[in-house]
Amino acid sequence: MNTNMKPYTFLLTTMLIALFSTGCESGAVLSHQESQLPEVAFQEEREVYEKAILESKLVKDQHEQGVERRKRESQELQKLLRKVQGRIESSEGDNLDKLYGQVRARFEQDLAFFQRLQEMLKLFPTREGDYPIQTNKMHLGLQKALDLTEDEFFDIIDSSPGVPQRFDFNNVPQMNIVGDRTHMFASGDGIVIKIFLATVYRVLSGKDKVSDLRDVFCQDWLDVSPWAHITPLPEGFDTTLIEDSSYFYNDKKQIPGVIIFHNGFAFGGHRCDKRDPDGKEFGPFDCSSWIASIIKSPAPFSTLHQYIDYHIRTDFSSFPAKAFSQEAKSNIVREWQADSFRSGIEESLTPIQLRDPQIDLQPGCIHGERVLPFFDVTENMSVFPKGSGGHTSLFLGMLGCGPDAQALTLGFTRNIEYRNIDAAYAVDKRLLFRPNPFDAGRSVFYHKPINF
């Protein structure tokens, strides 16, 4: 540890220069200059994305919404950074070693709370409206923020050599593609830098509660922020056990919750959020809650609902002819007819009988997939497989052709633990063809909605 650091009064003039320069303005169609990526990076994906924006109103609208969301995040985080800078500059006589110790202690305390919360939530059954709090990733973000503090705190504060590029939030990308490590908008690093800056400010200001960050922004900040969300707790949760936490929140709505920082994604979204029953402009979504929202579905649905609906309405034609017994088909049809989620999909989406992706698919179509186990393709199965987990997104176009073809898509996605992915309005690639005939049934496609 460097014990010969400059006093706070030195500070963040150089930090600002090294970390964040003036951000770009948004536009409907990308240019190499606007994107903040090297001209050769993701060139094929960029061309497909630009073409989709021009050809599909739905894609264009969501592209612009994604850019606006990222701009709002950038503006808020820049404002928070300026507040941190001001606090440090006015703290004459203190030094960075003292700040380091205080910030590290705060991270350890908050991390212990979220680890304890995760254990407490395991006692509650999994219900639709509780997915966001039960699957939050704050414990991962806090652990990474603590690691960042231990490894790079003085480099960040002293700006020598400066903040790693992966945390950049000032240069707003026009195409938020999975795999781009030149900013924080497509990776798990996003919540890390948000937690880091918020925690440093809390320590400097002496305000323990995370909700006090509204002093930086506005009084209704938690209701409008694109990166902080009051996530309700399960019914029957004893809030007296966590009321001393900095992240606990309750107000006149009398719907207690925990403030969760996010990069746009929350499992289940906020479609069943008791605090925001009418939705939140920049609230968190997952893949299916976002699709249901943008196509104005009268009811929510998941990738499982898409998968079952598609295969029933296309008479299971994506699978080998003798894959399932008549009993298996009849049972799944009967189950689907009684499902309350059925109306949302049937009223909003029309299946595509996919023969040639290059011809049948257009930008703005809906893509969905389920993870299926391996089956013996000669087996006359007595049960229709439902798979486990999945993804849905807007189809943008094709990359390549033949067995190596991939679909380029736009959506919400998160896989922090294994791939460090956490992104809203993310451009991603999905494999279309697989050698096992049963895998052909894992992907489903719907025509783009009417009026788009």
In the predicted model, is pLDDT for residue 8 greater than 50? no
Report the percent of the chain where pLDDT is more than 90: 63
Give residue-wise pLDDT tens across range 391-412. Answer: 999 999 999 887 788 999 999 9
In the predicted model, is pLDDT for residue 74 greater than 80? yes
Candidates 286, 316, 312, 318; CA nearest to 301 is: 286
Rounded CA gap, 363 and 54, in Å?
9
Exposed / middle / buried, residue 179 (Cβ in 10 Å: 0-12, 13-18, 19+): middle
Exposed / middle / buried, residue 195 (Cβ in 10 Å: 0-12, 13-18, 19+): buried
Residues 6+ apart with CB under 8 A from 424: 66, 69, 176, 185, 263, 264, 265, 284, 285, 412
**Is residue 124 within 8 Å of residue 134, measured between CB atoms?**
yes
Rounded CA gap, 249 and 218, in Å?
16
In the predicted model, is pLDDT for residue 36 greater than 50? no
> What pLDDT does 166 receive?
87
Candidates 98, 92, 84; CA nearest to 15 is: 84
Edge-to-edge strands, sheet with 406-415: 421-431, 406-415, 390-399, 366-370, 443-446
> What pLDDT does 53 receive?
98
Residue type, 299: A
The mean pLDDT of 429-438, rounded to a whole number, is 76
Minimum mean pLDDT among 12-26, 76-90, 419-433: which range? 12-26
In the predicted model, is pLDDT for residue 271 greater than 90? no
The mean pLDDT of 241-260, rounded to a whole number, is 91
> What pLDDT does 451 receive?
65
Give residue-wise pLDDT tens across range 114-135. Answer: 999 999 999 999 887 899 999 9
In the predicted model, is pLDDT for residue 81 greater than 80? yes
> What pLDDT does 444 receive?
92
In the predicted model, is pLDDT for residue 138 greater than 60? yes
> What pLDDT does 10 receive?
31
> What pLDDT does 334 receive?
96
> What pLDDT does 45 receive?
96
> What pLDDT does 356 receive?
84
Give residue-wise pLDDT tens across range 161-186. Answer: 456 788 999 899 999 999 999 999 99
- Helix then strand count (H, E) for the chain reads 15, 8
In the predicted model, is pLDDT for residue 106 greater than 90? yes
Confidence of residue 377 (pLDDT cuts 50, 70, 90): low
Question: How high is the mean pLDDT of the chain?
Answer: 85
Highest mean pLDDT, choosing among 25-34, 139-148, 291-300: 139-148
Give residue-wise pLDDT tens across range 14-26. Answer: 333 233 332 322 3
In the predicted model, is pLDDT for residue 277 greater than 90? no
Residues 6+ apart with CB under 8 A from 96: 5, 6, 7, 8, 154, 157, 158
The mean pLDDT of 44-49, rounded to a whole number, is 96
> What pLDDT does 363 receive?
97
Minimum mean pLDDT among 133-137, 190-194, 253-257, 435-439: which range? 435-439
> What pLDDT does 159 receive?
54
Residue type, 197: L
Q: Which residue has the higher pLDDT, 84 or 135?
A: 135
| β strands within 225-347, DSSP E | 228-232, 248-249, 257-261
Rounded CA gap, 443 and 310, in Å?
10
Instruction: Answer left, alpha or beta for residue 292, where phi above 0 means left and psi between -120 and 50 means alpha.
Output: alpha
> What pLDDT does 375 receive?
66
Minimum mean pLDDT among 120-134, 304-318, 430-444: which range? 430-444
Confidence of residue 331 (pLDDT cuts 50, 70, 90): very high
Q: Which residue has the higher pLDDT, 351 or 166?
A: 351
- The structure tokens listed for 90 are 């006015």
Candidates 179, 159, 143; CA nearest to 81 is: 159
In the predicted model, is pLDDT for residue 29 greater than 50? no
> What pLDDT does 372 receive?
82
